[in-house]
Structure 1
Amino acid sequence: MKPLAVTAFTLTTALGAGRAATLEALRAQRSGLAPLRFLDLPLATWAGEVAGLEQALLPAALAHHDCRNNRLAWLAMLQDGFIDAVARARARWGAARVGVFLGTSTSGLLQTELAYRNRQSDGALPEGFRYAETQNTFSLAGFAADALQLAGPRCVVSTACSSSAKVFGNAQRMLQAGWIDAAVVGGVDSLCLTTLYGFNALELLAPEACRPWDAARRGLSIGEAASFMLVEREAEATEGWVLGVGETNDGHHMSTPHPEGTGAIAAMRAALAAAGLQPGDIDYINLHGTATPTNDSSEDRAVRSVFGDSTPPCSSTKGATGHTLGAAGGIEAAISLLALQHGFMPGGLNRQQPDPELHAQYLDANRAAPLRHVLSNSFGFGGTNASLVLAKEVASDAPGRPQQAHSPSGGQAAGRRGHQ
């Protein structure tokens, strides 16, 4: 595939708002997980809650989108100059030529849950409840497009934990087809009752901070997060590159991964093929690594099937952020870019006893290294899988490399569009 030039990116998780806070926490190997405090729910688990969302009010012009999910999205957009970067892309390409492709699992479901808690005496939902702009799955893309003043194609992918990794495929196909010249991609997921009680019912919530790749791992810790990246057809300066996207669906089970990682294997191989790379070209793998017994064992087999017994160093960053569900793919792509930019592989947190049945080269501590290529895995319910290959730089003679722009002027961009 033609590499996607990443010209801006940001992320907000329980580690903090923005890239600097995230990098500082990762370098210090500090977790954002804590005993669940959200809505004082009586669940004995830990979670990655983003601080300050109750105070993160939307501007008056966007108030009709107000819900926890969109507040989290807005808080993330405010970081790292992201809104200004999108404004430059909008001026360069035109608002109708910038797409919005985002992932989520529950969108603003909490808004509906709270509305049902506050039904009127006749059972009617509160008068101010706005389903379409808050809870509807598409409401995330609608809000982002309004907030960023974009008028291009937009959609939301909701394939559980692979959602915001798969959106890179949407953007790449739309760029290749000539429908757009740039796209905002990423994902947002926020805490809600259905998610927490649902995973509790599945007996997948750990009673402590999750412990990926641990012999005594007992489940995941739910987190909330938002990430956004701006990818463009051409760029004179980049933050990094998405070289390959691999998407598969093995349909093994509604909630349990294929024990041999069949779909995961195919996704990783597809991402490598799209990037024109061999397994030996990958320097670090950001694992899906949820800390459930079946996920980690399945992913370990899949990684060893693709990379052999000498796997690249790898780790799961969910011990720091929690499992952010539909936002996980975008969050971990952003963390992968930070690792590439700063030359380090983040160690996984909370592992106390290595599992002798897992053989991938798992890192418990940060390791400094000049990274060229990082693979990021995101595997969701229903057997939906996505893998991304990211790089800091692309060789000038690399196959499919986008041509560098000669001018940021909208006139030249419009001229190129006219000849597609």
Structure 2
Amino acid sequence: MTPLKVLTHTATSCLGQGRDAHYRALTEGRSGLRENDFTRAPLATCIGRVDGLESAALPPRWIDWDCRNNRLAWLALNQDGLLEILRDLRGRLPAHRLGIALGTSTSSIGDTEQAYLELDGRGRFPDTTRSRQIHQPHSLSAFVQRATGWDGPVMTISTACSSGAEAWAAAARWIEQDLCDAVLVGGCDTLCGSTLHGFASLELTSPRPCRPFDQRRDGISIGEAAAFAILVRDTVECGNDGAPDLRLTGHGESADAHHMSAPHPEGAGARRAIEAALQRAGLSVADIDYINLHGTASRLNDQVEATLVSGWFPATTAASSTKGWTGHTLGAAGAIEATLCLLALEHGYLPATLNCEEPDPACGPQFLREGRHAAIRTALSNSFGFGGNNASLVFQRSAE
């Protein structure tokens, strides 16, 4: 594929708001996970919660879109000058060639849960929660379109944990097919009872901060996050002189449909996604400097991914999971982990696999237990979801 420029990017999660907050947290060794203080019913688990969303209402003109997920999206859009850049592009390029591709797993379902708790005597949602804009899977992308004025193709992707990465692949295809000159890409998912209690009912959550690739791992920690980037073709003037030249150079997707929630035991679908991403980028495994692993701290996922990476990639490739920092942000995971790969390329800092004290025997020399500085040129981001939905992205920094 033709490499596509990443004009800018940002993220908001339990680590903080904006790129700098995330970089500082990673270099300071500061996780955003804490004991669950979100659910009504007691649930012994740790979460990655973004503070302040309860009081961060949307501007009055968008009151019909007001929900936790859209509040987080709006908060992230206002970081790192992103909204100003979006408006600048809206003024310089045809609006119908400005696309939006976003991933989410549950969208605004948390507010739908609340509406059901407040049913009136006739079994209807109360007037204050009866909003068609909120109670639908497309609420996130439709709100972002309204907030940005970008009028090109708009897509909401919901393929579980790969959603945010799949959005990058969709954006690349739109530009390659000459449908768009620029695409706002990313993902947003927020905490809600359905996911927290749902994963707990599957016995997949841990009562402590998650421990990816540790042989004592006992489940995931769920988080919330929003991450966005602007992907553009080369002909678009960037106006960001001095910024690193970051590019999406490959993407790969697969759907192995092995099991509703368990990965293929040999990582067949994951391998196909990685191979497709490398092929599009014109690279081999030896060219990958850093891998941001899916690494959720579930028993099966980590074992399969560790076996795949340690048996396929050279020892010179560094690899880590960042779920111990942010929690598993579900539909936003691929988006925020793309941001963390871009930060690694920008700053030359590779984050540790937090809480991994006794590595699984399947882990090879690639796995990082401690963060370290290293000048890298190429990063791979893996996102593997329920139902065998797999996506991998390749990012590169041009030589200076």
TM norm. shorter chain > 0.5: yes
Q: Which residue of 1 aligns with 2:230?
A: 230
Tell me which of 278, 285, 291 is aligned to 1:279. 285
1:6-405 to structure 2, matched below 5 A, reads: 6-234=6-234, 235-236=237-238, 237=240, 240-307=246-313, 310=315, 312-359=317-364, 361-393=366-398
Q: Which stretch of the first structure deviates more once superposed, 83-92 or 331-340?
A: 83-92
Is the contact made by 2:357 and 2:369 (CA closer than 8 Å) also made in structure 1? no
**Distance in structure 2 (CA, Å) of the matches to 1:12 and 1:334:** 10
Bigger CA drift: 6-15 or 357-366? 357-366
Partners of 1:304 and 1:311 within 8 A in 2: no
Q: How far apart, in 2, do the equivalents of 1:53 and 1:372 lie?
A: 36
Tell me if the contact between 1:265 and 1:305 (Cα under 8 Å) persists in the aligned partners. no
Say if 1:378 and 1:387, in contact at 8 Å, map to a contact too. Answer: yes
Residue 191 of structure 1 aligns with an amino acid whose one-letter code is L
Rounded to whole Å, the distance in 1 between the matches of 2:29 and 2:330 is 21
In structure 2, distance between residues paired with 1:171 and 1:99:
8
- Partner deviation per Cα, 1:308-335 (whole Å, 9 max, x = no partner): 5x36111100000000000000000001
Cα deviation 1:264-292 (Å, max 9, x = unaligned): 11111111111111111110100000000
* Aligned counterparts of 2:169 and 2:224: Cα–Cα separation in 1: 23
Cα separation, 2, equivalents of 1:225 and 1:92: 30
Counterpart of 1:132, as a letter, is R
How far off is 1:130 after superposition? 3.8
Structure 2: distance between partners of 1:79 and 1:259: 40
| Cα distance, 1:150 vs structure 2 | 1.1
* Inter-CA distance 62–268: structure 2 relative to 1 (3 Å threshold): same
For residues 129 and 40 of structure 2, the distance between their equivalents in structure 1, rounded to whole angstroms, comes to 23
Distance 1:357 1:6 in 2: 34
Give how far 1:369 is off.
0.6
CA distance in 2, matches of 1:99, 1:303: 34
1:349 is paired with a residue whose SS is coil
What letter matches 1:365 in structure 2?
Answer: E
SS in 2 for 1:188: strand
CA contact (8 A) 2:352 2:369 kept: yes
Residue 368 (structure 1) shift: 0.7
Q: Which amino acid in the other structure matches residue 290 of structure 2?
A: Y
Give distance in 2, aligned partners of 1:186 and 1:131: 24
1:403 maps to what in 2?
A: none
| Contact 2:267–2:304 (Cα < 8 Å) also in 1 | yes
- Conserved 8 A contact 2:251-2:280: yes
Q: Deviations over 1:103-132 (max 9, x none)?
A: 000000011100000111221111232453
Q: Relative to structure 1, is the Cα distance of residues 227 and 186 closer, same or farther in structure 2, using a 3 angstrom cutoff? A: same
Q: State the 1:40 CA deviation.
A: 4.0
Partner of 1:399: none
362-371 or 221-230, which deviates more:
362-371
- Aligned-pair CA distance for 1:305: 4.5
Aligned twin of 1:416: none
- Any idea what SS the aligned residue of 1:87 has? helix
Which stretches in structure 1 are left out of the alignment for 5+ residues?
396-420
Q: Unaligned regions of 5+ residues in structure 2, if any?
A: none
Q: Secondary structure at the match of 2:116?
A: helix
Deviations 1:221-255 (A, max 9, x none): 00000001011112444651111001011110010
Give the structure-2-normalised TM-score: 0.96
- Once the two structures are overlaid, the 10-residue window that deviates more, 163-172 or 220-229, is 163-172
Q: CA deviation at 1:55?
A: 1.7
* Shift in CA distance, 275/130, structure 1 to aligned 2, threshold 3 Å: farther
Q: Is the 8 A contact 1:31 1:319 kept in 2?
A: yes
RMSD: 1.3
Q: Determine the structure 2 residue equivalent to 1:408.
A: none
How much does 1:259 deviate? 1.1
